[in-house]
Amino acid sequence: MSRAISMEDRLAKVPDYTRFLTVDELYERARLLAEEHPEIAKLTIVGKSTAGSEIPMLSIGNGPTSILVFACPHPNEPIGAMMTYFLMGELMADEELRSGRAWHIMPCVDPDGARLNEGWFAGPFNVRNYARNFYRPRPQDQVEWSFPIEYKTLKWTAPKPETQGLMKAIELTRPAVMYSLHNAGFGGAYYYMTGELDKEHYDELHRIPVERGIALSLGEPEVPWATAFYPGVYRMCPVTDAYDYYEKYAPGDPAQYIVGGCDSSQWAEKISDPFTLVTEVPYFMSAKISDQTPLSQSRRDVIMEGVARSRQVYGVMSKALEATEGMI
């Protein structure tokens, strides 16, 4: 039996990757591991993408605790895919890591979208190259946000083929733990989860990125209906919370403000009610995201300044789109 190693020792084993791996490389890794280790690994095709690519899931071990890990629910977020590449190899080599668990790993749940981002996967890693080769689907076409939902006047019954594949994976594995692998474009590190933890675990979630030079995102959350468990750690934001927020503060039918369905964590609740974790780490960082120094300005003034800047940006974008109409 292999010796259990610490989190720090395991993180120290992660290679110094110089580029992001392609979809084909990720899928080939999963296929080869299943072929080379049939006694502990099995490859299952859970669905096909919109363009017809098979979507694989590699299952490793057969313990009673089921863990589902899936990468690229947003195709411009491949950091988690790199983690699956490393984790698949670790699980093959480390019996202790497999013990008592059945790991189910999907290296990429949106192969079509991820391939459209591969133009920036090898660098140069700057904002210009990222923007020139960036692709992200509309909300209603995103794997993470097109699960079926019926809530009050909100009804969404059109999951994408990729989402249907992920739904099948959740039904097959009935996870106790589910890790939806996301990452942010800019800012700092922060987390979402479906349940609260003891303070010592929050402190550990703070320590891991900070010790690696990644600032914590300690500003306001992405959405105003988010609930903080701890600084930079939020309760998962189900679409029903968005609906209730709009119902309280916005005019008219709240459903008109929501495009798409619910997320994987909310849909999985009715299957196996897993503890779900999302970790957001950025490509482009700024220490300002952790700066909590009080300002002389009011919160309202700061927000209105941001609105004014956004209007300027949207004005430039609108002119560019009008000038290139029919060309793209």
Statement to judge: residues 81 and 109 lie in one domain: yes
Residue 122 included in any domain:
yes
Residue 1 counted as domain residue: no
Q: Let me know if residue 2 belongs to a domain.
A: no
Both 269 and 200 in one domain: the answer is yes
Q: Are residues 156 and 303 in the same domain?
A: no
pLDDT score recorded for residue 328: 65
Whole-number pLDDT of residue 36? 97
| Residues spanned by the domain of 97 | 7-293
pLDDT of residue 325: 87
User: What φ, ψ does residue 47 adopt, rounded to 5°?
Assistant: 175, -175
CATH number at 283 reads 3.40.630.10
How many of the other CB atoms lie within 10 Å of CB of 83?
19
- Total domain count, the chain: 2
252 shares a domain with 150: yes
Are 215 and 188 in a shared domain? yes
| Domain shared by 150 and 270, yes or no | yes
Look at residue 1 in the predicted model and tell me its pLDDT: 42
Judge whether 177 and 65 are in contact, CB under 8 Å: yes
What confidence score (pLDDT) does residue 3 get?
59
Question: Other C-beta atoms within 10 Å of 97: how many?
Answer: 19
Structural domain contains residue 50: yes
pLDDT at 316: 95
Interatomic CA distance for residues 253 and 201, integer angstroms: 40
Tell me the pTM: 0.94
315 and 226, same structural domain? Answer: no
Pair (198, 308) in one structural domain: no
Share of the chain residues as helix, strand and coil, in percent rounded to the nearest 5:
40, 20, 40
Whether residue 270 sits in one domain with residue 124: yes
**Residue 244 burial (C-beta neighbours within 10 Å; 0-12, 13-18, 19+):** middle
pLDDT at 6: 87
> What is the full per-residue pLDDT of the chain (328 aa) written as tens digits?
445 688 899 999 999 999 999 999 999 999 999 999 999 999 999 999 999 999 999 999 999 999 999 999 999 999 999 999 999 999 999 999 999 999 999 999 999 999 999 999 999 999 999 999 999 999 999 999 999 999 999 999 999 999 999 999 999 999 999 999 999 999 999 999 999 999 999 999 999 999 999 999 999 999 999 999 999 999 999 999 999 999 999 999 999 999 999 999 999 999 999 999 999 999 999 888 999 999 899 989 999 999 999 999 999 999 999 999 887 6
Check whether residue 108 and residue 234 sit in a common domain: yes
Residues 300 and 276 in one domain: no
Which of these, 32, 48, 30, lies nearest to 88 by C-alpha position?
30
